[in-house]
Structure 1
Amino acid sequence: MSRINSDNLYPIEGLATTIFLKPLVEESEITNVFVGEYTYYSDFKEPKNFLRDNVLYNYGISNTALRIGKFCALANGAKFIMADANHATEGITTFPFPIFGGDWADTIPLSEYPLKRYSDIIIGNDVWLGESATIMPGVKVGNGSIVGSKAVVSKDVPPYSIVVGNPARVVRTRFSNEEIAMLEKLSWWDWPIEHIEKNMTILVKRDIKTLWDYAMNNHLIKKSL
């Protein structure tokens, strides 16, 4: 088997519209975006502009990060709104005086501005973001979830859920609670790649029991979630 190299920017020969994001991020000067192996982004025009066109308002003010797991699929136009996009909302005005500098910045430094504090945006492993899906600041999308086209996700998404709409809502889970617990325990995306390759046929089928048995026989089960 010819193994796919996760460090190749263009993983599909002759196709310039799909890239692995990890090498793109590692070659950039961006220090608060982290992407796992084999996660890809497809764009109808230029996927290499991902950090500019899809990770928005990333000015470094909020000290938050974007963390995307392994084996995720990001469709054309999927976007992440970083916390720096937000204005202070507790006062009389939402106008951001200090960003214009000069006397305004001296009067109320940006570091003292009453901005809402957010956690990092965290996209789990094996997540599929549909075309033009938008992830808002501080949101966590659980492993194995699917975010529908044009969905706007402003709240955390449980593992293996399907969410659609604006604001996004869970329409169903992909598996039973018991199956989800097994899949979280399996965490197949963290296996050595040779074990993943041996189980590709199983991974694309709904045969959790067989995958579980393989993991047990090869000591691949996590001791704790």
Structure 2
Amino acid sequence: MSAHPLPRRFPAPDTRNPVLLPDGTPHEPTVFLQAVIDHLNIEVGRYAYYSPLAPVTDAAAELAPYLYPGCPERLVIGAFAQIAHGVRFITASANHPMGGITTYPFRIFDMETAGKYLEENAAIGNTVIGPDVWLGFNAMVMPGVRIGAGAIVAAGSVVAQDVPPFAIVAGNPARVVRSRFNPDEIARLLDLAWWDWPVEAIQRALPALEAGDVAALAEHAP
């Protein structure tokens, strides 16, 4: 299926800088998120990476600037997600109260009285990024959005609604441009869930993954 040899190296998912430059030095801005995020409200799947333009100092604060430990919502990033520079997750706690006359958040100055705000934010729910999702340069994901497995979010998009698995979305607000596979193939891919396989099996299946051959991928299922 492929004339190219399989990779001889695949780093552990807790490697901070998994990409090596041709001279052997690590590419400092590219990080596996499991190695750099330790946050009560963020769950990160294996091999999900973030690649901004400068070395990462605080990935959690860069990616989800309004998500504080103890917020009522969570950010879930699936395995093998790919996150480009400038991506931001605007989680529910970024919202101002919208049920009354003013949106001014008076109660944030005395959080012991902010129960109603927290209830509003909790009702919005978690932001969930599925496995193998690619979020392009400067994409923004709004509160409570769920992005399905294998989806692609184009650069500069503002995602305000859920995205189906294996869809390509673009624009502001982001809309589905096309689907990457037909419905039967998508159902089969979700059933195969290759992102849950042992990494050794994934590496053996790499030619099928690269070729977009769902039937050949199925032959590699552990």
TM-score when normalising by structure 2: 0.89
**Does structure 2 retain, via aligned residues, the 8 Å contact 1:124–1:144?**
yes
How far the C-alpha of 1:60 sits from its partner, in A, is 4.5
Q: Report the equivalent of 2:75.
A: 66
Q: Report the equivalent of 1:122.
A: 128
d(CA) in 2 for partners of 1:94, 1:66: 24
Structure 1 runs not aligned, ≥5 long: 221-225
d(CA) in 2 for partners of 1:119, 1:157: 16
Q: Report the equivalent of 2:58.
A: 49
TM-score when normalising by structure 1: 0.87
Cα root mean square deviation, aligned: 1.6
Amino acid at match of 2:41: N
Q: 1:76 aligns with which of 71, 85, 90?
A: 85
- Range moving further from structure 2, 7-16 or 123-132: 7-16
SS in 2 for 1:178: helix
How far the C-alpha of 1:100 sits from its partner, in A, is 2.0
Structure 2 runs not aligned, ≥5 long: 1-7
**Does structure 2 retain, via aligned residues, the 8 Å contact 1:9–1:19?**
yes
SS in 1 for 2:187: helix
Q: Report the equivalent of 1:223.
A: none
SS in 1 for 2:184: helix
How far the C-alpha of 1:59 sits from its partner, in A, is 2.7
Q: Map 1:135-146 to 2 at 5 A.
A: 135-146=141-152
Amino acid at match of 1:46: P
SS in 1 for 2:220: helix
Q: Give the number of aligned pairs.
A: 208
**Does structure 2 retain, via aligned residues, the 8 Å contact 1:11–1:18?**
yes
SS in 1 for 2:177: strand
The reply to whether residue 90 of structure 1 matches residue 94 of structure 2 is: no
Instruction: Tell me which of the two structures has the higher relative contact order, counting C-alpha pairs closer than 8 angstroms and 6 or more residues apart.
Output: 2
Displaced runs of 4 or more, over 3 A: none
d(CA) in 2 for partners of 1:214, 1:16: 33
SS in 2 for 1:47: coil
SS in 1 for 2:211: coil
d(CA) in 1 for partners of 2:92, 2:69: 9
**Does structure 1 retain, via aligned residues, the 8 Å contact 2:41–2:70?**
no
d(CA) in 2 for partners of 1:182, 1:36: 21
**Does structure 2 retain, via aligned residues, the 8 Å contact 1:61–1:84?**
no
Q: Percent of pairs identical after alignment?
A: 41
